[in-house]
């Protein structure tokens, strides 16, 4: 089966087996656009993490995907915008982890441990890793307040989990803010030293680090 | 007393009250050169920390001191070299902390705590702060191996202190390397959040963080 025939069949399938047409539906175009945008973001974030933001050009990102630079602009805009979008995704993943954990049963300490493990795992993945590897000062000044607001949400979520654990007696905490910075720092640092493919899996690293950190606030 | 007279008198004083001369001795010129070089480094590291390396030009550094850019070149060389020198000083301070602690009495855990506190305090000062705020990838490729070797010495020193505490039974450690990364990350992160002039002094922040971290490895 030729590539064209296969695409054509897939399209026909998407159209709920109604009359086959060589034209894609609005929905198919949207799915296609989203998947291309995702591919650009993943290629960009990996280069930003590896070489640093300033040493990466959109030409490099385009070349790594075998496409042209104007296509990147078409999907995402200028390099500042691409970086912000990568960091927004990274922060969104951390935010989702906090929201998910907040709904779970158990003691405050149980929820805190779950969040910290998930936090570390996120940081060892591409997008949240980029949040940590890139200093706020690199972002364009007009984007910075929005980025800091998103980051502050994660910090507040972590502080709330720590405060809740202290409140139900499952943790003993002197200073919630300083404890949050201690935990966030220890786990965020994986963005600087963790190399994928090392002897320990991210889940094992997360588990061991969270064990050391939370033993430090056991009652 | 005119500025010139005062300088002249100070020079005479430096010359051990021997015959006064309007020319400075080789030793005075060396002291003078070193203090100018230090002033340039301090101005540079503060701008790098505040604005980021790429957003800071040697013109900015020169302007902040009221001198010319060629003068900066004269004392230190190009911007890459200035950055490396700042980071070298920061790493040197951490290295001295490790060496000093290694000679002190007490258990392994006592020495480890002292080192961790001093490590955190260093990171909240200008030069070691720059080591953390600046990713290795920003350094010129030919300088990077030298920088990584210096950084690795600090990592090895921290691992040795942790291993010694485990060996004499004053700490309970599952994975020395992961414990070192956990501690270094938590303390290094102060370079990203600590603002001088906050309600807590660096020594208090260091003390509280080290308390949380080392409770996590108490036997």
CB atoms within 10 A of CB A84: 21
Q: Mutate which of A185, A208, A215 to disrupt the B interface (most B C-beta within 10 Å)? A: A185
Q: What is the mean pLDDT of residues B113-124?
A: 98
Chain A positions touching B212 (Cβ under 8 A) are 179, 182, 213, 216-217
> Chain-wide mean pLDDT for chain A?
89
Q: Tokens at residue B40, please?
A: 């340039």
User: What's the ipTM?
Assistant: 0.85
Give the total residue count for chain B.
Answer: 219
Kindly indicate whether the domain formed by A79-219 is annotated with CATH number 1.10.3720.10.
Answer: no
Burial class of A76 by CB neighbour count within 10 A (0 to 12, 13 to 18, 19+): buried
Q: Which of B173, B177, B208, B176 is nearest to B190 (CA)?
A: B208
Closest Cα in chain B, distance from residue A53 (Å) = 9
Q: Are B56 and A138 in contact (CB under 8 A)?
A: no
Chain B positions touching A182 (Cβ under 8 A) are 186, 189, 209, 212-213
Q: What is the mean pLDDT of residues B14-29?
A: 71
Chain A positions touching B181 (Cβ under 8 A) are 189-190, 193, 209
CB-based contact A213 B212, cutoff 8 Å:
yes
Chain A positions touching B180 (Cβ under 8 A) are none
Q: pLDDT value at position B23? A: 83
Whether A104 shows a pLDDT value over 90: the answer reads yes
Q: What is the mean pLDDT of residues B27-45?
A: 90
CB-based contact A175 B208, cutoff 8 Å:
yes
CB atoms within 10 A of CB A55: 13
Q: Tokens at residue A84, please?
A: 């912000």
CB-based contact A178 B51, cutoff 8 Å:
no
Residue A75, Cα to own-chain centre: how many angstroms? Answer: 19
Render pLDDT for A35-47 as a digit per residue (tens, 0 to 9): 899 999 999 999 9
Closest Cα in chain B, distance from residue A51 (Å) = 6
Whether A6 shows a pLDDT value over 70: the answer reads no
pLDDT category at A113 given cuts 50, 70, 90 is very high
CB-based contact B185 A174, cutoff 8 Å:
no
Which of A14-18, A76-80, A152-156, B130-134 is the least confident region?
A14-18
pLDDT category at B39 given cuts 50, 70, 90 is very high
Backbone Cα Rg of chain A: 21
CB-based contact A186 B190, cutoff 8 Å:
no
Q: pLDDT value at position A214? A: 98
Does the pTM surpass 0.90? The reply is no
CB-based contact B182 A213, cutoff 8 Å:
yes
B17-77 topology per CATH: Arc Repressor Mutant, subunit A (1.10.10)
Render pLDDT for A77-100 as a digit per residue (tens, 0 to 9): 899 999 999 999 999 999 999 999
Render pLDDT for A169-188 as a digit per residue (tens, 0 to 9): 999 999 999 999 999 999 99
Q: What is the mean pLDDT of residues A196-216?
A: 94
Q: pLDDT value at position B28? A: 87
Q: Tokens at residue A135, please?
A: 């200093």
In whole angstroms, give the CA distance from residue B149 to residue B137.
14
In whole angstroms, give the CA distance from residue A69 to residue A25.
27
- CA dist list (Å): A66 to A51, A114, A123, A131: 19, 40, 28, 26
Return the higher-pLDDT residue of A70 and B109: B109
CB-based contact B209 A178, cutoff 8 Å:
yes
Q: pLDDT value at position B9? A: 45
Provide the residue ranges of all domains of chain B, joining segments of one domain with +. Answer: 17-77, 79-219
The DSSP result for chain A, as a single string, is --HHHHHHHHHHHHTTTSS--SSPPHHHHHHHHHHHHHHHHHHHHHHHHHH-STT--HHHHHHHHTS-HHHHHHHH-SHHHHHHHHHHHHHHHHHHHHHHHHT--S-HHHHHHHHHHHHHHHHTSHHHHHHHHS-GGGS-TTTHHHHHHHHHHHHHHHHHHHHHHHHTTS---S-HHHHHHHHHHHHHTHHHH--TTSSS-HHHHHHHHHHHHHHTT--
> Chain-wide mean pLDDT for chain B?
89
Closest Cα in chain B, distance from residue A6 (Å) = 44
């Amino acid at each position: 089966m030729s590539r064209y025939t296969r695409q054509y069949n897939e399209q026909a399938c998407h159209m709920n087996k109604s009359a086959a047409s060589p034209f894609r539906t609005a929905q198919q175009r949207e799915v296609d656009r989203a998947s291309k945008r995702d591919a650009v973001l993943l290629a960009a974030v990996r280069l930003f993490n590896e070489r640093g933001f300033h040493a990466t050009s959109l030409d490099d990102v385009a070349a790594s995907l075998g496409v042209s630079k104007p296509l990147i602009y078409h999907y995402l805009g200028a390099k500042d915008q691409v970086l912000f979008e990568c960091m927004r995704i990274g922060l969104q993943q951390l935010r989702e982890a906090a929201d998910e954990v907040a709904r779970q049963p158990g003691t405050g300490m149980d929820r805190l441990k779950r969040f910290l493990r998930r936090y570390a795992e996120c940081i060892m993945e591409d997008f949240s890793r980029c949040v940590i590897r890139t200093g706020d000062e690199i972002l364009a000044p007009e984007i910075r307040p929005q980025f800091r607001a998103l980051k502050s949400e994660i910090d507040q979520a972590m502080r709330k989990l720590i405060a809740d654990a202290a409140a139900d007696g499952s943790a003993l905490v002197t200073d919630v803010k300083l404890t949050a910075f201690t935990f966030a720092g220890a786990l965020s640092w994986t963005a600087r030293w963790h190399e994928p493919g090392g002897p320990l899996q991210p889940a094992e690293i997360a588990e061991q680090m969270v064990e050391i950190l939370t033993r430090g606030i056991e009652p």
